[in-house]
Amino acid sequence: MSLATKRGLAAGVLTLAMLTTVACGKTENNSASNAAGGSSAAEGSPSASAGASQTADSGASGEKIKLTFYSYNLATAGQKEGTQQLIDEFEKANPDIEIDGIPVASTDINAKVQADIAAGSPPDVAQLVFDGLDYAVNNFGAKPLEDIVPADELSKAFEGFSPNGLKLGQLNGKTYGLPFTFSTPVLFYNAKLFKDAGLDPETPPATWAEVKQDALRIAQKTGVSGVHIGGAQGNDWIIQALIGSNGGKVLSDDRKTIQFGSPEAIGAIQMWQDMIASGANDKLNDGDVIEAFAQGKVGMLLFTSALQSMFVSSAQAGGWELKAAAMPSFDGKPTTPVNSGSALFILSNDKAKQEAAWKFLNFVTSERGYTIITSKIGYLPLRPAIVDDPQYLKDYVEQNPLIKPNLEQLDRLQPWVSYPGPNWHQIETTLLDAVQKSILSTGDITPIMQDAQKQAQSLVQ
């Protein structure tokens, strides 16, 4: 079955809807990218119109400050409740600030922000995906926190934050977004299928060579798919993690040169191609495999940890045991997990609203905020100490040990690279298309990846 396989069950449609949000799927950025590509500098520039409907003295009269907050979590079943709890607790603690949480589908949020900026009425705070960081800064006018918050206050707020996590929302030495919903690639696996194949579920594979060996055994002994590496559709964060773990990069450090045609990048994708050619990895698309894994019909799945709660419920209902391990490595090389997820950005030009928005961001990313995000929404806490604190997540982590491999990857975390300029989404799509073509091909993929690099380089501005 090809990557374009149609979903035949209604459950598959529902699964795909969840996947689009938790994995920050391709369509989330597509319409925004088109809008961005068709906008003039005057239209896209925050300075052109973003402040047109805002006043410089919001809240000066002592009235309650109202912040508009665009969030795709609020539009997503299973995530809106926890997100609303964050809003409710913040408003209770800050009665002078009202958060107008506006649900916007993940497929629409970037395009809506773009259109509202052009109309002169941007949201005050927006939940945006990390791969659009460069565009959020240079076209949406995201405000650096260093320009809003006194240095000593900001430094105190950042105490206890995962240093690698904090870097995710930084560009050119300034912090534009605070990590909100966040996950890393995790190897989920079915302990029952491991046992049925004569494998020890307490010793999961640690390298890709071991994954291939175990996956082939599962396929041979049980008749189901051995492994599925996710991420060939949607966004390139897992692809970036694979390339980085083989010593490569997708973009040079000076953000000028595309590098996913390098030998290291090609080697990472060749591993994936070999997995499929050998029969260890299936040829299904991510949506179909997520459904099949939930039904206990796939041995291993590398994908976002945000699917954990769904898989736990499916395993309990299906009578099989779910386990999780860290992202496998290339022999002799350290893994470089790359995050998926989103950050919160302040877009308001109004000083009083900026200060109120900072209070909201500070609460959402506090110890209490991340406790809600992890226990109610299902994402990682980027304040590691709270997982051992009984006031916050200690009991939750003890009851949910599957989160541990995800937490352990924070020390090796690398930021999801956002490509420069207004063509960032086209560059990402170019890589995705090349990877999809490569992993299903039977020949040398070097020309495919190098041609994609040249095409992407022509889009860099």
pLDDT of residue 45: 35
Residue 132 contacts residue 424 (beta carbons within 8 Å): yes
Both tokens of 25, joined, read 């799927």
- DSSP class per residue in 211-253: HHHHHHHHHHHHSSEEEEE--SSS-SHHHHHHHHHTT--SB-T
List of domains in the chain:
27-183+341-404 (3.40.190.10), 185-338+423-457 (3.40.190.10)
Q: What angle do CA 94, 99, 105 make, to 5 degrees?
A: 150
Q: Residue 30: what residue type?
A: N
Contacts of 12-20 spanning 24+ positions with Cβ under 8 A: 12/287, 12/288, 12/291, 15/287, 15/290, 15/291, 15/294, 16/287, 18/76, 18/77, 18/78, 18/307, 18/310, 19/234, 19/286, 19/287, 19/290, 19/307, 20/106, 20/107, 20/234
Distance CA 91, CA 126 (A): 17
Closest CA to 178 of 215, 152, 224, 146: 146
Closest CA to 169 of 355, 364, 309, 367: 364
Residue pLDDT tens, the chain, 461 long = 444 333 333 344 344 444 444 444 443 333 333 333 333 333 333 333 333 334 344 555 568 999 999 999 999 888 999 999 999 999 999 999 999 999 998 879 999 999 999 999 999 999 999 999 999 999 999 999 999 999 999 999 999 999 999 999 999 999 999 999 989 999 999 999 999 999 999 999 999 999 999 999 999 999 999 999 999 998 999 999 999 999 999 999 999 999 999 999 999 999 999 999 999 999 999 999 999 999 999 999 999 988 888 899 999 999 999 999 999 999 989 999 999 999 999 999 999 999 999 999 999 999 999 999 999 988 999 999 999 999 999 999 999 999 999 999 999 999 999 999 999 999 999 999 999 999 999 999 999 999 999 999 999 98
pLDDT of residue 306: 82
pLDDT of residue 99: 99
Closest CA to 236 of 321, 82, 340: 340
How far are the Cα atoms of 58, 167, 197 from residue 62, in angstroms, in the given order? 9, 36, 68
Residue 368 contacts residue 216 (beta carbons within 8 Å): no
Both tokens of 236, joined, read 């390139």
pLDDT of residue 63: 87
pLDDT of residue 60: 53
Residue 327 contacts residue 184 (beta carbons within 8 Å): yes
pLDDT of residue 332: 86
Q: What pairing do the DSSP bridges indicate for beta strands 125-129 and 65-71?
A: parallel
Residues in the chain: 461
pLDDT of residue 389: 98
pTM confidence score: 0.85
Distance CA 97, CA 399 (A): 35
Q: What angle do CA 335, 337, 343 make, to 5 degrees?
A: 165
